[in-house]
Amino acid sequence: MMTAQHLTKRYGGRNGKTAVDDLTFTVRPGTVTGFLGPNGAGKSTTMRMILGLDAPTSGNVTVGGRSYAAHPAPLTEVGALLEARSVHPGRTARHHLRGLALTHGLPKRRVDEVLDLTGLTEVADRRVKGFSLGMGQRLGIAAALLGDPATLVLDEPVNGLDPEGVRWIRTLLKSLAAEGRTVLVSSHLMSEMALTADHLIVIGRGRLLADTTVTDFVRDSGAASVRVVTPDPDALTVLLQAPDVAITDTAGALDIRGTTAEHIGRTAAAHGIPLYELTPSTSSLEDAFMTLTHDAVEYTAPQGAAA
């Protein structure tokens, strides 16, 4: 289990930039936890503090009840992928992994096992400088798995992978969680997180925005809406008014957010208001994420700007 308590990181002194602001969360074993946030939200800084690469200004984070540095053999406790390209380009994949294995007394056979697991056996003796982005990602994942750790911390693990590779890492993460391991993974691909993660930790501007299941996050986001067509929209609008309900009249139909189709239907029936259409929309994880983090985005492009 991984626990962060009041984790804070400031740069430049008291008046400098706060990258992580009083962040408290728990990542539990047996679950793939997605770590989400806009660019500049503090995800990478948080991951670096988990691994002892950055010291927190205040607060602490533990993995398995200890700080990362306190583990006598950290590679066997926490496997991490932060920078897949942080490998000497002149080394082969096999030599890179053997070097890591020697630091923890791991047998050579374990190197062969992770090479096979990540699909790199055929290129194991090629120099890393000739690897594609996807092959580099696979090598980074192999290094993270080398010590057979109970906890995995992966930053954008599907970056550069082809569709087969994306499916492979999704299946791998789910299987590792099913074995009872703790898995924390960040990604900007909301569609992939929707298929991979069970739980979400969402941050914005360094602060916790959500700590919940994927299902509850989407349901409670307010991003879902119900399309209603009725000959008496004004009367229905008055009846449905509530602090958390937003109603917009668009081209003869009402777009209603913050309540359910069931509640709308029951309200209309109770007051004799006919409904010609009552269609709930399905909100996606991306919709829910964009709704929650709208005010926490540090860099935004003007609407309609060319890509």
pLDDT score, position 306: 44
List of E strands, the chain: 2-11, 17-27, 31-36, 58-63, 78-81, 151-155, 182-186, 199-204, 207-213, 225-229, 246-250, 253-257, 277-280
On the question of pLDDT at 303 being above 60, the answer is no
At 298, the pLDDT band (50, 70, 90 cuts) reads: low
**Alpha-carbon torsion (171, 161, 84, 49), positive or negative:** negative
Cα–Cα distances in angstroms (integers) from residue 109 to residues 97, 98, 106, 139, in the given order: 11, 10, 8, 16
pLDDT at 43: 95
Query: Which pLDDT value is given to residue 133?
Result: 87
Query: What is the mean pLDDT of the segment spanning 216-220?
Result: 82
Cα of 52 vs its chain's centroid, Å: 20
Name the band, by pLDDT with cuts 50, 70 and 90, for residue 307.
very low
Q: Is the pLDDT of residue 209 over 60?
A: yes
Q: Please give the distance of CA 8 from its chain centroid, rounded to a whole number.
A: 20
Is residue 36 over pLDDT 80?
yes
Q: What percent of the chain clears pLDDT 70, i.e. is strictly above it? A: 94
Token reading at 176: 């590792």
pLDDT of residue 222: 67
Return the structure tokens found at 113: 């096992």
**pLDDT, tens only, 99-151:** 999 999 999 999 999 999 999 999 999 999 999 988 999 999 999 999 999 99
Which residue segments constitute the domains of the chain, with CATH numbers given?
2-213 (3.40.50.300), 225-281 (3.30.70)
- Position 300 pLDDT exceeds 60: no
Identify residue 241 by its one-letter amino acid code.
Q
At residue 295, does pLDDT exceed 80? Answer: no
CA-based nearest residue to 257, from 272, 273, 240? 240
Return the pLDDT at 294. Answer: 82
What amino acid occupies position 238?
V
pLDDT for the residue 224: 75
Q: CA 115 to CA 108: how far, in whole Å?
A: 11
Residue 299's pLDDT is what?
Answer: 52
Mean pLDDT (whole number) for 254-275: 94
Mean pLDDT (the chain) is: 91
Give mean pLDDT, residues 84-100.
91
Q: Which pLDDT tens digit goes with each residue over 139-184?
A: 999 999 999 999 999 999 998 788 998 999 999 999 999 999 999 9
Amino acid at 120: L
pLDDT at 221: 77
SS (H, E, C) 190-240: HHHHHHHCCEEEEEECCEEEEEEEHHHHHHHCCCCEEEEECCCHHHHHHHH
- Reported confidence tier of residue 8, pLDDT bands at 50, 70, 90: very high
Is the pLDDT confidence value at 305 over 80?
no
- Radius of gyration of the chain, Cα coordinates, nearest whole angstrom: 24
Q: Higher-confidence residue: 9 or 14?
A: 9
